[in-house]
Amino acid sequence: MGSNDRAASQGGGGAHVWELADAQHGVVSRRQLLDLGFSAKAIEHRLVSKRLHLVGRGIYAVGRSELTQHGQWMVAVLACGPEAMLSHGSAAALWGIGREWRAIEVSVRRCSPRRRDGLRVRRRPTLADRDVDEHERVPVTGIVQTLVDLAAVHKRPAVERAVNEADRLDLIHPPALRRELEAHRCEPGVKPLRAMLDRRTFRLTREELERRFLPLAEQVGLPLPLTKQWVNGFEVDFYWPDLGFVIETDGLRYHRTPAEQARDRLRDQAHTAAGMTQLRFTHEQVRYEPEHVRAVLAEVARRLGATGKRVAAA
């Protein structure tokens, strides 16, 4: 609808309808129109004149029938009532940490929601206020609740991707997420999510890191490396001076501060500029994925022509 048509429609409560529609991605509910003082006859007149377009049971698009993805989500939420919000895959899609599966998923905080075609509606009367949020003007489960819900219905790789994206987007970082799980301890998704976070955010001690890593290097024919040496202005974890080879390890797979990331880049650039071969493993990989670490080390040892001799101190 053009600006002149819009202006012409703003008499008798029309301005309030447009304000409400603007706040709801172009859609309003029949209940909202009645609350604004519109009669059933007035609503029908606007449908006939194409100022309203029916897009769901009791839900109308204002001005034009085309809806954005956010408009479609808003239709689903409005169709399920004032206590409804996006959840699960739809919430993940709205937050930008996952994708929606088949039907739009909605949770309602009441005992018996009406069935809605094309929607997957869950009854959740005990959902706490702290777990209800709004993102881009759409009611949605909060980021912690969304991740807990995903962990309850999806396998680990999908949940890990969602946690990584939440971290990258600064929605919540893994240590904070781990703390927040205490308030959700009785929910189905908490146990797998906590186990995943515990595995990803732990840090090996120096002694345990060396005890686990050094045999892997020895098994693929690499000589014994020097440890905790200063190379190109940086302290490295494992160093083979005769091979020009350094390995760094990260204690946290997930979030690193911008300052830490900048220092990592400088470190990697310094080693590359010096013509060295460098690798970076996480502590999680060293502990839980030794086969992967060993395979990578074997390929590097082959390429560097490692002899298996002990490296002399620099």
- Say what the pTM is: 0.71
**Residue range 69-84, pLDDT digits in tens:** 999 999 999 999 888 9
**Residue range 84-93, pLDDT digits in tens:** 999 999 999 9
Stated as kind and residue range, the H or E segment containing 230 is: strand 226-231
- The model's confidence at residue 252, banded by pLDDT at 50, 70 and 90, is low
Task: Classify residue 16 as exposed, middle or buried by CB count within 10 Å of its CB (0-12, 13-18, 19+).
Answer: middle
pLDDT at 10: 43
The domain locations on the chain are 3-67, 70-200, 206-304
Return the CA Rg of the chain. Answer: 28
- The model's confidence at residue 312, banded by pLDDT at 50, 70 and 90, is very low
Q: What percent of the chain has pLDDT over 70?
A: 89
**Residue range 27-70, pLDDT digits in tens:** 999 999 999 999 999 999 999 999 999 998 899 999 888 999 99
Q: How many CB atoms are closer than 10 A to CB 97?
A: 23
Is residue 280 scored above 50 in pLDDT?
yes
Rounded Cα gap, residues 177 and 239, in angstroms: 35
Rounded Cα gap, residues 256 and 230, in angstroms: 22
Q: Which two tokens stand for residue 253?
A: 């797979």
Rounded Cα gap, residues 82 and 158, in angstroms: 30
Q: Residue 142's closest CA among 125, 161, 129, 124?
A: 129
Q: Which two tokens stand for residue 102?
A: 């088949």
- Topology at the third CATH level for domain 206-304: Endonuclease; Chain A (3.40.960)
Average model confidence (pLDDT) for the chain? 87
Extended strands (E) in 35-164: 52-56, 59-62, 84-86, 104-108, 119-123, 132-135, 138-141
pLDDT at 307: 57
Q: How many CB atoms are closer than 10 A to CB 31?
A: 13
